[in-house]
Amino acid sequence: MTVYACGVDFDAIEALDVHAHVSIDWAGRRWLDGESVRSVHSMASASARPIPTIDAMAQYYRDRQMAAVVFTIDATAATGRAPNSVEEIAERAALNRDVLIPFGSVDPWQGTAAVRRVHRLIGEYGVCGFKFHPSMQAFEPNDRRFYPIYEAIAEYRLPLLFHTGQTCIGAGRPGGRGIKLRYSDPMLLDDVAADFPELTIVMAHPAVPWVDAQIAVATHKANVYIDLSGTSPTQFPPQLVHAIKTSLSTKVLFGSGYPVHDADRWRDDFANLGIPAATLPRVLKDNALRVLGVAGT
């Protein structure tokens, strides 16, 4: 029996933030260790902002007539740290189903156990997509050892959200805390998109230093999108701003990276980019509805 059923009235919301982190749960268990949390907040200039509970996140979006995709990341094998419970996040989202849309996460290194968990998270908890962070999870997304996971998700036609490019986690630390950026090269996802044309793939963040490659993949593959989270739009590379205004107006999504990045600030900064009026509603909501497979979009 599915415990989550999306209750978002998409006609009533102004925007849909496709990238919000549940980095600390309501019981106070951190997914990241203290040093990693400090590096994320330091790089994002958000050290003074309190980390909200998932219920507080729901109210934040509710107050703004917005909805949000929420998730954590299971990188147990690579980090040795258990994530916030994906199941509990889905259950908590069910209590705030008017504004929160849960994505699942599985550790790709768990093999057949990860495949079984995909089915369980969808069948029992009703997650609406899956989040992967190749650098944190230390895997190459186009390695065919991980294809059974994608095959399981493809059965349900749910979207996959992959971190791409630089990451705040480990930034400025010796060796970057062992995190390897090459796993988050968007060209690795070009293979996945080609091999799974039935899957919708979202590349999270402007993929510095591979923005040109990211634009090329999203332009070439009809099933690939870009979420614009992780930095202020004032810092977007110029070629990405041009693509948003032209070739990728139907392929880019509003994402903030809340709570590390503020959704209000993101929207204000984005409004100052000179984006065509017809493109704004696409980026803020319409493109995301298509990614989520919402009927009638």
Predicted local confidence at residue 23, as pLDDT? 66
Is 4 contained in some domain?
no
Read off the DSSP letter of residue 12.
T
The pLDDT value given to residue 234: 96
What per-residue confidence (pLDDT) applies to 295?
A: 53
Q: 67-102: per-residue pLDDT in tens?
A: 999 999 999 999 998 888 999 999 999 999 999 999
Q: What is the DSSP letter of 202?
A: E
Res. 141: pLDDT tops 60: yes
- The tokens of 215 are what? 């634009």
Q: What is the CA radius of gyration of the chain?
A: 17
Residue that wins the pLDDT comparison between 50 and 10? 10
Does position 64 have pLDDT exceeding 70, yes or no? Answer: yes
CA 164 to chain CA centroid, Å, is 10
Q: Please report whether residue 45 resides in a domain.
A: yes
* Backbone torsion region of residue 212, taken as left when φ is above 0, otherwise alpha when ψ lies between -120 and 50, otherwise beta: alpha
Closest C-alpha to 167, from 123, 231, 115: 231
Domain carrying residue 271: 15-292
pLDDT tens figures, 152-185: 999 999 999 999 999 888 888 888 888 999 999 9
Q: Looking at the domain assignment, is residue 10 inside a domain? A: no
Give a yes or no: residue 265 inside a domain: yes
Percent of all residues in the chain with a pLDDT value above 70, rounded to a whole number: 88
Establish if 161 belongs to a structural domain: yes
Query: How high is the pLDDT of residue 81?
Result: 86
> How many structural domains is the chain composed of?
1
Residue 236 within a domain: yes
- pLDDT of 7 over the 90 cut: no
DSSP assignment letter at 247: T
CA distance 261 to 252: 18
Residue 89 within a domain: yes
CB 140, CB 134: distance < 8 Å: yes
Give the integer Cα–Cα distance in Å for 247 and 125: 37
- In the structure encoding, which two tokens stand for residue 16, read together? 């849909």
Domain contains 2: no
CATH number at residue 285: 3.20.20.140
pLDDT score recorded for residue 82: 82
pTM: 0.91
Kindly report the backbone phi and psi dihedral angles of residue 24, in degrees, each rounded to the nearest multiple of 5, phi listed first: -145, 135
